[in-house]
Structure 1
Amino acid sequence: MPAAVRLRTAARETVGGLPGPFWWLWTSTLVNRLGGFVVTFLALYLTADRGYSPAYAGLVASLFGLGSAVAAVGGGVLTDRWGRRPTLLAAQLGTAVSTAVLGFCDGRVTIAVTAFAVGLASNASRPAVSAIIADIVPAEHRVRAYSLNYWAINIGFGVSAAVAGLIAAHGYLALFLLDAASTLACAVVVFVRIPETRPERAAAAAAGAAPAEPRAGLGTVFRDTRFMALVAVNLLLAVVVQQGSTTLAVDMGREGISATRYGLVIGLNGLLIVLLQLPVTRLMAGRGRTGLLVVSSLLTGWGFGLTALAGGSAGFYALTVAVWTVGEIMAAPTMMGLVAELSPARARGRYQGVYSLSWSLASFVGPAAGGFLLEHAGGRVVWGGCAAFGTAAAVAFLWLGRRPAPAAAAEGRPVGAAELSRS
């Protein structure tokens, strides 16, 4: 088969068969992340530009994470009750305003409170985006759809991280304003092109009846022990991954590496995901989830663990980023597809919100713990802890994969949906 034909076939298998609204959502995600400068450079901004301590930078990042944790659950509930589209619009408009305000803040308390507000607004959109994808994409294509959305996130992240380092060299205020502008543009795309997708509302409209409120509350999610076990294990990995945008920046700064070089090193994460996400997703097709999650956990934990050996070498830091990025590429679509499969349609927002809560709690706990340990115990303790967490997550995934799945019919899910080890 000629190379051109093989390329067209691969392209159809990768991006074909997905509905139009998904691609508008993909576009809005890309636009937003192209201007997503602030979170990546917040710790470096506070320490290198404003002169605050690593512990304070970790505290601010933790407050951002606390706001994200509150928004994860609240955004999930609003996504089911209020609707996907209005929740997404409100979150994006709130993020644009609070990010711009943060750029003008001065004083420890004001910066900390505003960072909490940014986290609160920005993370409220995550359950809505995930629920929209689950609503509009057939089950057999969801892993691919989540992979493509994650790809868009990292195209934007890779470009913004590299460019932001150059902009930051001439002043940080522009980073905050450009981030706010890109989020506002994202809200415009959502307002113009993305419809409401709540399944029960669409079904009620087709039948000419008033839409019924969801019957599942947060208690339903928290009583789902298998799902909550996955959330707990993901929390371990999320704490590790959070070190990449907070503790790693401070560690590299203490080693004398400039903001520009840090931007290029951390931008490698996004670049590798752009290059490898789709081909790796194709290679993952048909493979058991347990094996994928075990390998990804080890790569993530031990990739960060290698940072202890980097010293002042930007090249070695880049090598460690490459290792944990491969783990991230494997884990993200696998977990997102599994969460969507485990979520009843009437409670997708709540399930996605609780899953997002694990990342938000990690955003709260991870930076504070990382900053404290880096300041008081040194980098080797931080990065050794990352390796230990990754290993613990791998063991936990292996244990969960060997447990018999609960009766799917009793939980109102399709047969096989709760099987972690399913391909």
Structure 2
Amino acid sequence: MMKILKIYIDAYSGLSKESWMLAIVMLLNRMGSMVLPFLGIYMISELGFTLENSGIVLSCFGIGSVVGSWLGGWITDKIGNFKVQAISLFLSAPLFLILPLFKTVESFAVIMLILSSISEMFRPANSVAITRYARKENITRAFSLNRMAVNLGFSIGPSLGGFLSYYSYDLLFYCNAGAALIAGIVFFVFFNGRKERNTGNTEELELDKTVKERNAYTDVPFLVFNLFCILFSIAFFQILNTLPLFYKDVVKLTQSEIGLLMGFSGFLIVVFEMLLIHYTEKKFTVTQLLVFGSFVTAISYFIFVFNHTLGFLYLGIGLMSIGEMLVLPLMSTVTAFRSQKNNKGAYMGLNGMSVSVAFIVSPFLGTHVATSYGFNTLWVITSIILFVVAIGYHFFTKPLLQKNV
């Protein structure tokens, strides 16, 4: 027991109070993400949309995410991460509040496009803030702490959302609005006027004035890496759209059971992510961890083809959580290492777009394949994509971790 406690202490030691506060703000913000797993169900059961129409609306959410990631990264390099995060949080709250007013496919698609554009500006700015306050040797753990906050929010949010949606879907939107507002207030109070430390978190390359800074949008090795990040995200984020529909329509789970199953993933990540990263980053390379994480995620989806019992559903979501713990924070680590002093926002925004593109393609592709060919075909295709990603990470990640390349 003492050995386990020591591992926990070692995993969390060295992280600045700013890193902790960024994680707390992220937790408050993502606790409101209880809406996302239930958006598809809400549109079909409450608004009467078809499965394909719900996929189109979710794709509009993805388009807004791409716009928000790019815009957030670009503006962050211009005006700083503090202003972008504050703007995103304080504008998101009223947008969540008015969501129940939109009932048609067209109007709901438009408001989701606007909402996701504003809310996703937060992510690249927040990632840049992490690099400003974390020492280089702790940067992966700082991102993992942030990821832990995200997943604690996803653990609490969907579990609570499953119960709230039983009484009223409007409560989901109102809770999202409240969470965004509280997160904005906490963030503003703590970080307003706080000086960025910038110690130990910039690469030596940035200090060499003879080296010309790269352009994120013409950095071919990084663009190839981002392509595999897009493919991973398209496959992985079936968890937010088609997987809940699979649980409801095929496995016949109740909304509360779906919420608990989705919350289980967040619980695992909250408890084990920092320990997993702390242990594995000393024994394996970043490339090895990205490959293994992608492979495990492929296996997790493949399980759904053969067995729908509750035990195997939890096994599948558990393996998926391991893959998520390894891949998502390390995507940010690779991006932070590849970026330079004055273009961190652009790099973080571009990498954030890889996730945002998935929000466009993933629901549209997932719902189309599930409707036309069945969920089993969807899970097989998803697994194949993830195997390809594992191979791609094996060959294309290492060059990004070498200086002056």
Same fold (TM over 0.5): yes
Query: Which of 59, 69, 73 in structure 1 is aligned with 2:56?
Result: 59
Query: Which of 295, 299, 302 in structure 2 is aligned with 1:298?
Result: 295
1:314 positional shift? 3.7
- Kindly report which structure 2 residues correspond to 1:343-354, keeping only aligned pairs within 5 A, or say none: 343-354=339-350
1:97 positional shift? 1.6
Query: Which of 72, 76, 79 in structure 2 is aligned with 1:79?
Result: 76
Q: Is the 8 A contact 1:304 1:383 kept in 2?
A: yes
Measured against aligned partners, the alpha-carbon deviations of 1:287-343 in whole angstroms (never above 9, x if no partner) come to: 1122111111111122122222244x3443222111111111111222221111111
1:380 maps to: 376
The one-letter code matched in structure 2 to 1:334 is L
- Measured in 2, the distance between the counterparts of 1:126 and 1:357 equals 10
- Kindly report which structure 2 residues correspond to 1:13-412, keeping only aligned pairs within 5 A, or say none: 13-195=10-192, 220-255=215-250, 256-286=252-282, 287-311=284-308, 313-401=309-397, 408-409=403-404
1:230 positional shift? 1.1
Q: Is the 8 A contact 1:69 1:361 kept in 2?
A: yes
> Unpaired runs of 5+ in structure 1?
203-214, 412-423
1:248 positional shift? 0.8
Q: Is the 8 A contact 1:304 1:320 kept in 2?
A: yes
- Measured in 2, the distance between the counterparts of 1:358 and 1:182 equals 26
Q: Secondary structure at the match of 1:363?
A: helix
**CA distance 1:407–1:318, change in 2 (3 Å):** closer
Q: Is the 8 A contact 1:25 1:194 kept in 2?
A: no
Q: Is the 8 A contact 1:103 1:177 kept in 2?
A: no
Q: Is the 8 A contact 2:338 2:400 kept in 1?
A: no
1:285 positional shift? 2.1
- Measured in 2, the distance between the counterparts of 1:122 and 1:405 equals 29
1:419 maps to: none
1:53 positional shift? 1.4
**CA distance 1:79–1:200, change in 2 (3 Å):** farther
Q: Secondary structure at the match of 1:244?
A: helix
The one-letter code matched in structure 1 to 2:48 is G
The one-letter code matched in structure 2 to 1:61 is L
Structure 1 runs of 4+ aligned residues shifted over 6 Å read 196-202
**CA distance 1:7–1:224, change in 2 (3 Å):** same
**CA distance 1:400–1:51, change in 2 (3 Å):** same
TM-score, length basis structure 1: 0.88
- Measured in 1, the distance between the counterparts of 2:400 and 2:26 equals 34
Root-mean-square deviation (Å): 2.1
TM-score, length basis structure 2: 0.91
Measured against aligned partners, the alpha-carbon deviations of 1:23-46 in whole angstroms (never above 9, x if no partner) come to: 221111111222221112111111
